[in-house]
Structure 1
């Protein structure tokens, strides 16, 4: 099947995670993504785990792309980038603000080369921001802390905890892809390109939904609650005889079924627990009662009981269980690729399931510079002699 973005060409100047996450989405959806890497490659190629000197980190985020290795600090390298901009629809970069301008490739300069170009920048605090933040370095951990996310993550009363994945980078990548797709639709209507300015901080603040409105409406400063929900009770993980089980009881109908399932129908109409606002108000009294009950059976036993009552629940799966889970595999969210120099390796699949133009993992992550000659010769019409000269001058690898 052809992807919905077939015919869209992306010049990808990004590195490590936020930008590559964005361009992987576009590539999964059928765009041609040409990843420009410096002579030493994307920094992510140096991050483990490794097999045969190949980075699993890089492999996990760069499938479906082409790699062109070019030194953009040379005039000849800049010419290659200019030539690519002329034939591209989108450019993505995630350098510090000001870096691309120093190279001579700000948005203002790029749109002179290609007026319809969609230029997406991803950085920690945004390009249109306060002057003191314009060149501030930012990693995922920085924005997890700055955004307030870490202040509400972790056990109640405990120290702040980093979310277990690089969510600041990944959210920014997803928001960048949404922004690019929206800009492509706008260009289709008007012929205008534009600058898409994505901030990692914006993305995590956007995801604070309930925490921000709780503070603005009540003055309460949210803190970490472990697995518990701040305004719905019971909506958390409970320790069982052998592990844990999550019980998100999101309304009063589910509360009645839950009480039947655990053999405590007397709690259904209890004056302190009858409605969610009451349960939430009296959670310090309710939760210990439920904790004691949940300890009486194993997780599997509770799962079988909750299934009978059609209650929402989940064990807390470890990654090995997720990789081998039947529904995860049925949805093709773990796929096997044949990675050069590595062999068979399993990576995450694509979440874009569409009846006509689904996302797809078509090719493995590229070796460094694997497609340099192909792109220069077939797309940019460089001659064999020109390519040979560029390689001799160390402009390309």
Structure 2
């Protein structure tokens, strides 16, 4: 973050954020968790945005998006930080904050253990901040000490549930691990198939774009703000409908393949079935232990989008763009067809609704030969749980 001289807005409590939408504010908060959203480039991994969850004495949980480069040590869970000149935004009913060019982050207390060992009085003596900030810092420290058993309890590493019938089976030779927490999934050391409950937080499409357009990679903000321009072109491309590999050389997803695969690994005759597909993307999911990115390819994307195929979405979108009536095709006025594009947008909005996502049951392939951003966790199937997981 760039150095900042002066404040552009007031220091506020998190409970007051909804009264400052569109304005700059200062936030003095405890950092609960930090999730970097990144993708592979020719020079290595590049972090575009880091999603953090913070809290204070007025509201225990509040989301903030950190854009651009930052010091990783500042964004460690348990730190008390001062977020300077962040802007409050709203997506649907959800209110959050985000950094801009004028923003900066300052770590006031390095880790929860320091809070517990030093106490309020000792920590207040060493802080070179203003009177208002010191008063807020004292409230945050006292709140952390008061709610310590709740904030810092060890997360559950599994879900209690009844046996859920699946509509398909894994191959017998593939090890299948059921009902894991995401913390256990992220710590697996062997390739296998796994199932878990998780909620969706972000949909990320790694693309080759100018730095000024990198926000276009984050689909949730585009959906929630009705910024649909180029959305269909970004998410749909020409590719193999079986293996999900894009087959064109235009800008697109940088997940897994650096070149177009010559053969289809799924087809019995090794030939690609060419048509319109959903471009591979990352779906960030979370539970009470951590976040992980899931690679979503064409077949999995169809399941995620209610079995609506990319070709159906693109066809409806093209008709709408040409000004034709989607519900009354020219070739057959008596047989109205569904508006797949509008249905697809509704499903995307429901899936990415901030703060209102119920847990879903994911079944994934874990491939330890790949890294996190390029396919270690690939979604195979998705279902609604018959009962909700136990988060206690």
* Shorter-normalised TM range: under 0.3
Give the number of the structure whose residues are more often strand, by fraction: 2
With the length of structure 2 as denominator, give the TM-score of the two structures.
0.27
Give the number of the structure whose residues are more often helix, by fraction: 1
Look at both structures and tell me which one has the larger radius of gyration over its CA atoms: 1
Work out which structure has the larger RCO, using CA pairs closer than 8 Å and 6 or more positions apart in sequence: 1
